[in-house]
Every structure is written in structure tokens, then in C-alpha cells.
Structure 1
Amino acid sequence: MSAEVRTTTETEFADWLRAVNTGFLNSAPPKPEEVAARLAGTDLRRTWGAFDGGRCVATYRSFSQELTVPGGAVVAADAVSAVTVTPSHRGQGLLRRMITTDLGEARDRGEVVANLVAAEYGIYGRFGFGRASRTARWTIDVPRTGLDRRRWTPPEEGGRIELIDGAELRKEGPEFHDRWRVLQPGAIDRDERWWRVNTGAEESGTPFTEPFHAVYRSPEGRVEGLATYTVEGKWNDGKQPANIVSVRRLTATSPAVEGALWRFLCSLDWVVEVTAGQRSPDDLLPYYLPDPRAARLVGTADYLWVRVLDTVRALEARTYGVPGTLVLDVRDDAGVASGRYVLESTPDGASCAPTSRAADLVLGAGALGSLYLGDETPTRLAALGVLTEERPGALARAEALFHTPRRPWCPDMF
């Protein structure tokens, strides 16, 4: 079979979107309004397809993104999404052809890493991606929290919580998110279209239902926290309310503000359960409640995957736990991140450069991606056989260097 791999034209985009739906097991053809909405937010120069007999049989797209790394710096990233291969054309190397071309172009554009959220675990390690963050889901049994919802009082921290609509969120949300995201390794930027789509001001191709938006304001009126949530209305047979709050996003610039927002949600009238998805695996959520056992962890999984494209710039961008020097021998089948590098961490910042010195550690590109944001540790990777200690003591040194106080977390799907 000789499918042609190339970028997609505007007239082919509806067929490309049909192939995306097929790949994700949705047999419904895209509606014209969905095609138009998706096309408006798509850069066709970075939208790849494999075409066989004029029909799209594989899809892939990327777009520019910013990723926060330990220390608060942001690096340019190649965000990968909509990756599918039609079942009839699996095993023909179509994904490899698309991803290899895109990653090469991303490196040439100066993007430091590539990011994606993997639908399947076993695919992207073959292309140098490493699991770089995890996500967790929580369920809160509200009656067991120990909160007295009959006597709700404003936050003790001196701020206030208020509900705003989508139009107000579009005005205040972007500035707040840009302040918050540099505090959280693994967080990504949100462009203007993201805010318009997620507040119903712009079509996305799927039905939109207005959620609730609760903001925490400081005494000076500045937004320091944001919770977006929906409510599923339920009443039991005894005419007792049994509503469920589903938290879509909750971020805050401090633990005090974050705790105030969780307690607010658990104090809503008629609510018996609060669910939260895509949270950090080391979330402090349970300990904001009088009875932490009311919050139950119901699932965890890998989430953000990272592929280093420029080893020197990537390692220089982040900060490290202690001063020190480490020589890394990076093995990359694609040759993108390969080389031997000396990493030097000082109180004034980090430097990284090619070297001919003997290696302290040998690791693959995927292991480097897992280490990069601090979610995995050198010791765990060595135990898994994807990182090798070449010099005694190097593993302990790497453990201290790559340590981060909190685990990385990405609250957004893309």
C-alpha cells in the first residue's frame, strides 16, 4: 500500500475530520458547522494526513504551545493532537512518517520540546516521548467532610468568592491563568480562542452548556483563584436533594485560596457529592477538609508526555534542587536529542553543553522526557532499566539535582 503523507488542504479538511472521528470510534460524519468551527482553530500547515485513493486514512496535527518547567520558566513546545490511523491502514508506518516529519520541523522552528496527551500508553515511547506527569480523579462525600454548610462564612483569608459569567471570565481569566501557570510545572498556556470556546463565545463543533464560574478575589479585588463546575440535579425518592458537582477546573495562586474554593464547593446547598478529574497526583485536596477521608482517590493515570527536541536549551531552562555537575549520555534513535552533555547547576542558573567527558548516566530520550519536569526519579528509572549509572554515586547526585518540591501537573486537555 502506498498512501501519500502530506499536509491537508482546506477542501480536504472535512474528510480529515471524518478520519479523526473514525480513529476515535465515532462513525458519525462531521456536521458542516463542526467542520467550520474546527477549521477556524487549525493551522493547515501543521495538519498532516495520509491519503489513499483520495481518502484520508490517518491524521495528525500540531500547534505552538508554552510549557512551564521547574523554576517557572516557559519553553516553546510542539503540541501534538488528533493522532489516528484508520483500522484498515494500521501497521504501514503512517504515524511514523507523520510524526518524524513534524518533530523535525518543530526542531527547525526552535521548539524545545514536544507535548501530547496519549490516548494509548504504548504508542509514543517508540518516538522518544516519556511520561512526564500524571493525573488523578477524586470524589468527595460531602456529608462526611465535617463542614457545617448551614453556617457558611466568607474565607478567613480576607478575600471573597463570587460567581461570574463567561463574559466576565474572558476579561479576567487570561491574566489570572498567566500568573498561575508559571507557578505550576507542567502547566500550559491558553490562547484567546481557548477562552472564547470554553465560555461559549465561539463555536467548537460540540454543544455548549454554560457552567458555573466561581472566582476568589483578594481584599483588593484581584482574582487569585478560579473554579469552573457543573451541577447534575438529582432528587431521591424521599424528595431529598442528591446533587453532584463536577469540577472541570480549579486553580489558585496559593494553598489558602485553593482550600477556600474547595470548601465553598462542598458547602453548596443540595450537594451531596463533588467529583474532580484531572487533578495533580499529590493534590492537597483531602487536607483542606475537616475530615480528609471524605475525599477518595478513585483513579490515576499517565497524562502529559514530553519529548525533548533540544537537549541543551531544555536542560538550561529549568532549575535544579541543588548545585552540582552531571554528565548525561542521551541515546535517541531519531538522533534529535542524542549526545553527551555536561549539566552544571549553580545558584545563579544552569548551563548545559556537549562534552567528551565520561558519562555519569546513560539514558534514552524517553527517560529524559520523564525526568524533565520532575515527575519521575532517576532511581525509579534505573530500577526499570531505562537509565544506567556509569559512575558510582551519580544516581544519588542526579536524584538531588532533578528533585522538585511538588509533582508536575497539567489541568488541560488538548
Structure 2
Amino acid sequence: MSLEVRPVGESELGDWLRALKAGFLRPPVVTDEEVEQRLPQFDLSRTFGVFDRGRVVATFRSFTQDLSTVGGGSLVADAVSQVTVSPPHRRRGVLSRVMAGDLAAAKERGDAVASLIAAEYPIYGRYGFGPAAWTTEWSVDVTRAGLDPRRTGQPDDGGSIELSDGAEIRKIGPEVHRRMARVRAGVPNRDTQGWERSTGLGFQGEPWIEPFYAVYRSADGDVQGYVAYRSDDKWDDGKQPINTATVRDLIACTPAAERALWRYLCSLDWVTTVRSGLRGPDDVLPLLLPDPRAARVVSHADMLWVRVLDVAKVLQGRTYASSGSLVLELRDAAGLAGGRYRLDASPEGAECSRTTESADLALDIAELGTLSLGDESVVRLAELGRVEELTAGAAVRADVLLRAPRRPWCPDIF
């Protein structure tokens, strides 16, 4: 049976959205109003449908993304999203066909990497993607946290916290987010439509419930962070409040702002539990509490996957805390970024180019994606057999060179 792969036209977006919803096991109902609201979100030239006798049986979309890397720089990424294949058309190579075309186009454009959030773990490694950033969610039992019950929600560093609204967050949020991305790898940029959706404007995939917003300002009035959160309304049989505050978004560009916002959340009257939302695995939250055991991990999983398309751009686009050299032999079944490369790095900068020198390490391009944002250990990958150490001690040298001081964090699902 012949399947046609091509970008969708404007008149076909409704059918494409129905196929998308069906693929994610959501009711396949799309109204004309939804199509009209969502159309501005899509670059139709990069919104692909797979058609079987005129019917959309698979969906695939990509868009340009700026992804922060170690040291405050950014990489241009081909962000892959909304990938589905209808159940009757699975195991026919449909995704492989579309993915190959998209990655080739991204390589031709000069994108440094491709990125995605994987709904299922086993799928994307075969296309050269590796998990580069993980996420953790905590549930904090405020009654056990050991915080002084007499303290107010205001910080003790001379700064202040004030309630806000979505209109103000749309104004101040982008700059706080940009500043945060300069100190944390793995953060994708948010466009204007993203800020509008996160504050209740534009198309919403589910009924909008207005959150509470709180903003942290330093002693000199500089806005350094904000939090959006919701709370339920629960009381026990003894007329005691047992409410849960759930974080939807907490962005802080300084440690002071991050500490102050968590303490504010844990000081809310009637709130006995705080759910952190998706955070970096090394978030300060547990150790911020006098009793860190009050913060229980409720979720820990891979989040951001990276596929390296340009080795030199990825390795030259970040900073390094120490000096060193590595020669990497990279295997890439798709033929997009394989070969042997020499990296010479120092705190002053880095150079990376193809070489014929003997390799120190041999690895698949997917493993370089896993290492690209400074999170994973080369030594651990070598112990797993996923990196081959060709020069004694090269894995340790690579760890010293490549590991970042803070783990990467992707705060957004895209």
C-alpha cells in the first residue's frame, strides 16, 4: 500500500489535528474554532502528514528552537513534536521515513541539533537521539519540613514577594526566562505564543484554570523570579485544611530568588503539601528544607532528548571549566554527523574539527547527544558498554572536560 508523505495544507489542518488526537488517545474531535486558533502556531511547511488514500494516518511537526547550552550560549535546534502513527499503520517504517527527511533538512539548514520530548523511551535512540536532560518532581509535606511556622512569606534577604497576574508575567517573564537560560543548559526558548498560552491567552488544550502568580524582587527592585501555582480546597473531618499547592511554572535567574519562592510556597496558609512540578534533578528544593526527607520524589524520568547534527557547533558552542583534548570516533548510521573529531578545549574557548588522529573514545552519535549538555558521565557509559575507551584514562579525562556544574533542565514540554 502506497503512503504519501508531504506538508499539510491549511484546509487539511483539521484532519491532521484529529489524527494527532487519536494518536495520543484523546477524543478525535476538532472544531473550526480550534483550527482557527491553532493555525498561527504552525509552520505548515514543516507540518507533515502521512496520507493513506487521502486520510491522515501519521503526524509529524518540527520548528526552530534556541536551546541553551553549558556556559550560557545557545544551539539552534530542529525541535520535533506531535509525532503519531495510527495503530493500523505502525511497524511499516512510517516514522523512519518522515524522521529521515526532517533530519536531512535540518542538517541542510545548518541546525546544530534536533530536540524532542519522548513520549516513549525506546523509539528515538535508533534515530540518533539520546536523553540529555532528566526531570524530577517532589511532593513536600510542609508539616514535616521543619520550617519555622512563625515566619511570613517574605524573604529575609531584603527582597520582596508580591502577588501578580498573567498580564504582568507576560511582560516580565521573558527576560527572567532568558537570564535563567544563561545559567542553565537544556532550556528551550519560549516565543510570544508560548507565553500567552501559559498565562491563559490563545488556544488551550484543556479548560483554563487561572493560577496564582507571585514575583520575587531583590532589595534593589530587580525582578529575578516568579512562580505560577494552583491550590485545591480540601479539609479533613476535623475541619483542618489539607490543601495542595501545585507549581505550574517556577523560573528564577538567581539562587536568592529560587530560595525565596520555594519558602514562600511552603509558608502558604492552609497548604500542607507542595507539588513542585517538573524540576531539574539537582533542584535546591529538598536541601532547602530543614528536613529534606519531607520532600518525597514522586516522579523521575528522562525529559529532553538531543540528536547531534553538527559536532563542531555543539562542542564549540559551550564553555569548559578546564583544559584538555579528546579525539572522538562517532558512529552515525544515518550518515549525518559521523566521523573522527578532535576537540581542544579550555576556559578561553574550544576548537573542534575532523581529524585522522587515533581516537581516544568511540561512541554512537546518540551517546554524544546524551553527553552534549554536560549531564551524563562518560565513565558510566563506558561501564555500560555504550562508550569504548580506546586510550587508557580517556573516559575520566572526558568527564572532567564535559560535565557541567549544574545538571541541565528543560522546564517545558513541547
Q: TM-score range by the shorter chain?
A: over 0.9
Whole-Å separation in 2 of the counterparts to 1:314 and 1:164: 38
More moved, 11-20 vs 218-227: 218-227
Whole-Å separation in 2 of the counterparts to 1:342 and 1:400: 16
1:403 Cα offset (Å): 1.7
Whole-Å separation in 1 of the counterparts to 2:412 and 2:367: 23
1:83-122 → structure 2 map (5 Å cutoff) = 83-122=83-122
Q: Could you tell me whether the CA contact under 8 Å between 2:79 and 2:114 is conserved in 1? A: yes
AA aligned to 2:387 is L
Which residue of the partner structure matches residue 34 of structure 1? 34
1:316-355 → structure 2 map (5 Å cutoff) = 316-355=316-355
TM-score by length of 2: 0.98
1:205 Cα offset (Å): 4.4
Structure 2, unpaired ranges of 5+: none
1:27 Cα offset (Å): 3.1
Which residue of the partner structure matches residue 164 of structure 2? 164
Which residue of the partner structure matches residue 297 of structure 2? 297
Whole-Å separation in 1 of the counterparts to 2:9 and 2:411: 32
Q: Does 1:25 align with 2:21?
A: no
Q: Does 1:288 align with 2:288?
A: yes
Q: Could you tell me whether the CA contact under 8 Å between 1:37 and 1:205 is conserved in 2? A: no
Q: Could you tell me whether the CA contact under 8 Å between 1:71 and 1:319 is conserved in 2? A: yes
TM-score by length of 1: 0.98
Whole-Å separation in 2 of the counterparts to 1:40 and 1:380: 44
Q: Could you tell me whether the CA contact under 8 Å between 1:8 and 1:49 is conserved in 2? A: yes
Q: Could you tell me whether the CA contact under 8 Å between 1:364 and 1:386 is conserved in 2? A: yes
Q: Does 1:51 align with 2:48?
A: no
Which residue of the partner structure matches residue 189 of structure 1? 189
Whole-Å separation in 2 of the counterparts to 1:243 and 1:34: 34
Q: Does the residue aligned with 1:277 lie in a helix, a strand or coil?
A: coil
Whole-Å separation in 1 of the counterparts to 2:146 and 2:379: 40
1:194-233 → structure 2 map (5 Å cutoff) = 194-233=194-233
Which residue of the partner structure matches residue 244 of structure 1? 244
1:290 Cα offset (Å): 2.1
Q: Does the residue aligned with 1:175 lie in a helix, a strand or coil?
A: helix
1:367 Cα offset (Å): 0.4
Which residue of the partner structure matches residue 410 of structure 2? 410
Which residue of the partner structure matches residue 384 of structure 1? 384
Q: Could you tell me whether the CA contact under 8 Å between 1:135 and 1:301 is conserved in 2? A: yes
More moved, 372-381 vs 127-136: 372-381
AA aligned to 1:377 is S
Whole-Å separation in 1 of the counterparts to 2:291 and 2:378: 35
Q: Could you tell me whether the CA contact under 8 Å between 1:38 and 1:205 is conserved in 2? A: no
Whole-Å separation in 2 of the counterparts to 1:356 and 1:51: 45
1:150 Cα offset (Å): 4.0
Q: Could you tell me whether the CA contact under 8 Å between 1:34 and 1:204 is conserved in 2? A: no
Q: Could you tell me whether the CA contact under 8 Å between 2:376 and 2:403 is conserved in 1? A: no
Q: Does 1:259 align with 2:255?
A: no
Which residue of the partner structure matches residue 72 of structure 2? 72
Q: Could you tell me whether the CA contact under 8 Å between 1:307 and 1:365 is conserved in 2? A: yes
More moved, 319-328 vs 89-98: 319-328
Q: Could you tell me whether the CA contact under 8 Å between 2:153 and 2:268 is conserved in 1? A: no
Which residue of the partner structure matches residue 307 of structure 1? 307
Provide the aligned length of Structure 1 versus Structure 2: 414
Whole-Å separation in 2 of the counterparts to 1:117 and 1:208: 23
Whole-Å separation in 1 of the counterparts to 2:25 and 2:289: 40
Which residue of the partner structure matches residue 13 of structure 1? 13
Q: Could you tell me whether the CA contact under 8 Å between 1:321 and 1:401 is conserved in 2? A: yes
Q: Could you tell me whether the CA contact under 8 Å between 2:343 and 2:352 is conserved in 1? A: yes
Q: Could you tell me whether the CA contact under 8 Å between 1:149 and 1:268 is conserved in 2? A: no
Whole-Å separation in 2 of the counterparts to 1:267 and 1:76: 40
AA aligned to 1:233 is D
AA aligned to 1:75 is L
Whole-Å separation in 2 of the counterparts to 1:36 and 1:96: 30
